[in-house]
Amino acid sequence: MSLFGTLQTGASGLGVSGASLGVIGDNIANLNTVGYKRSTASFADMLPQDVFGLGGPAQLGRGAANLTIGGQFTQGTLMGSGNALDMAISGGGWFQVNDGSQSFYTRDGSFGLDNEGYLVTPMGHRVQGYGASGGQISPVLGDLQIGSTPAPPAETTAITLDLVLDPDAGNDLDYGALALDGATTSIEDAAAAADFNTSITVYDSLGRDHDLLLNFERVAGTNEWTYSAVIDAGETDAAGAVEGMALEVGSGRLVFDTEGNLTGNSFTTTGTAWSWPGADAWAPELQLGLDGTGAGSDGGVVNTGDQASSVLSISQDGYAMGDLVSLAVDEEGVIRGQYSNGQEMELGQVAVASFDAESGLQRLGGNLYGATFASGDPAVGAAGTGGRGSITGYALERSNVDLEHEFVSMIQAQRSYQANAGVVRTADETLQELVNLV
């Protein structure tokens, strides 16, 4: 090889060393970039030159050249975030986003909502996923829009009561003699006449709340109690209804054995025509331990003298309309909304894309990658399925750059550059000697 060839060989070494330093510098610059995947430079020897000597043909190297710069897609550590819509993938896979005409892929889960309720990246790309309607996730992939409409109400259909009744309870008032027609007896008088009572808030089909009074009256000389469900007649459309007056909407009878256990429970609704204006007809089920056929049900009532009459627990299954107050994301990427009425509803699911050859993805800047022929087409599905990783909410994935490793690689590249510079300098000095001989 001529001295000029030696210069070219040294120059090729300078080139690959400089490229290596450039890759390392890029990695270090993106040390704090969310979801960044470090790159490594690979090199190869150049086509050697055939030479002939006394021992026969041989090959003389001509230096090195850049082979490829590839991404290292190892998992970055997760860090907590205060944003409910920030997400991190733990394991394989990519978030799929779209700018309206093209799909991209990213590990940066710094998401938020735009003014139309779409889940978007900081650059405005819409996150792809599965929408929801009525709390049911759709199988159709598209721009993921999180609805902020209120949660619909639900009327009370069942009231569950755990209750202790004192067999010695009683007063001088005759509850059975009261007229509970919505125009004669006040709510207060009805409550005062009963041997025991409790109340609970219930909801009609429009989500409006109403107070329901349950009055219990001991049947003297027996192990039986009667009870009635009473509402404020002024809230109904019953004929002759007066505000503040008691309207009985149902009544029943409880039968206990000699040990105070419930053996019979009958409940019937009143025959009076009434409804809450604009709402469906209301006929709740009272669950007190036994239903009307004697079969077991939730709740429980006992008749014992060990303690005074008291409510152990009372609940109902209705609720008012609720406003969206917070969001949460589970490991399958399902976004759930929590509402002011205590309800929870599925609002959508983030999709995760996987590739047969991640190394074939093309870096596009802005934390985005593009699919290529080398990477293959994406397989899009739910997190936690088909080898896709799980999703962690309130978290982001850090860069997978290891600063110590990069500094060691930088030293190696620097020494390589210095050594190749020495080759160039030596070849230059030798050429100078040759020129001086002429």
* CATH (domain of 264): 2.60.98.20
Which segments of 77-200 does DSSP mark as H helices, in order? 187-193
Asked if residue 418 and residue 384 are part of one domain, the reply reads no
Asked whether residue 121 falls in the same domain as residue 257, the answer is no
Instruction: Go through the chain and tell me how many residues it has.
Output: 438
102/177 same-domain check: no
Interaxial angle between packed helices 403-437 and 3-29, expressed in degrees from 0 to 180 and rounded to the nearest 10 = 160
User: Does residue 192 sit in the same domain as residue 305?
Assistant: yes
Joined tokens for residue 39 = 């790159």
Angle made by CA atoms 300, 303, 308, in degrees to the nearest 5: 105
The Cα–Cα gap between 254 and 288 comes to 9
Please state the domain count of the chain: 3
Contact 158, 299 (CB under 8 A): no
Same-domain pairing of 172 and 311: yes
**How far, in Å, are 110, 120, 242 from residue 79 at the CA level?**
12, 20, 62
pLDDT at 12: 80
What's the pLDDT at 13? 81
List, as one string, the DSSP characters of 243-273: TTEEEEEEEEEEEE-TTSBEEEEEEEE--S-
One domain, residues 56 and 45? yes
Question: Quick one: 309 and 331 in the same domain?
Answer: no
Out of 298, 316, 334, a domain closes at 316
> What's the domain range around 387?
78-151+323-397
Nearest to 50 by CA among 33, 42, 62: 62
Element (H, E) at 25: helix 3-29
Residues 286 and 312 in one domain: yes
Contact 130, 349 (CB under 8 A): yes
Whose CA is closest to 367, among 118, 144, 109?
Answer: 109
CB atoms within 10 A of CB 256: 20
pLDDT recorded at residue 295: 64
The amino acid that residue 84 corresponds to is: A
Instruction: Give mean pLDDT in consecutive 10-residue pieces for the chain, a chain of 438 residues.
Output: 73 86 93 93 77 74 79 93 95 96 96 95 96 91 91 94 92 91 95 96 96 95 94 93 95 92 88 89 86 70 87 95 94 95 94 95 94 95 94 96 93 89 81 79
The neighbouring-strand residues paired with 396 are: 79
Same domain, 307 and 191: yes
In sequence order, the 6+-apart residues with CB closer than 8 A to the CB of 311 are: 161, 162, 163, 198
pLDDT at 270: 85
Write out the two tokens for 37. Answer: 């995947």
Question: Which of 316, 341, 364 is a domain's end point?
Answer: 316
Measured in whole angstroms, the distance separating CA 94 from the mean position of its chain's CA atoms is 17
Same domain, yes or no: 35 and 67: yes
Query: Among 300, 316, 332, where does a domain finish?
Result: 316
Sign of CA dihedral 159, 163, 166, 169: negative
Tell me the C-alpha distance between 213 and 249, whole Å: 10
Q: What's the gap between Cα 92 and its chain centre?
A: 19
> Is there a single domain that holds both residue 341 and residue 426?
no
**pLDDT for 384:** 94
CA 327/CA 198 separation, integer angstroms = 36
Q: What is the pLDDT of residue 358?
A: 93
Q: In sequence order, what are the residues at sequence separation of 6 or more whose Cβ sits closer than 8 angstroms to the Cβ of residue 47?
A: 62
**Whether residue 216 sits in one domain with residue 116:** no
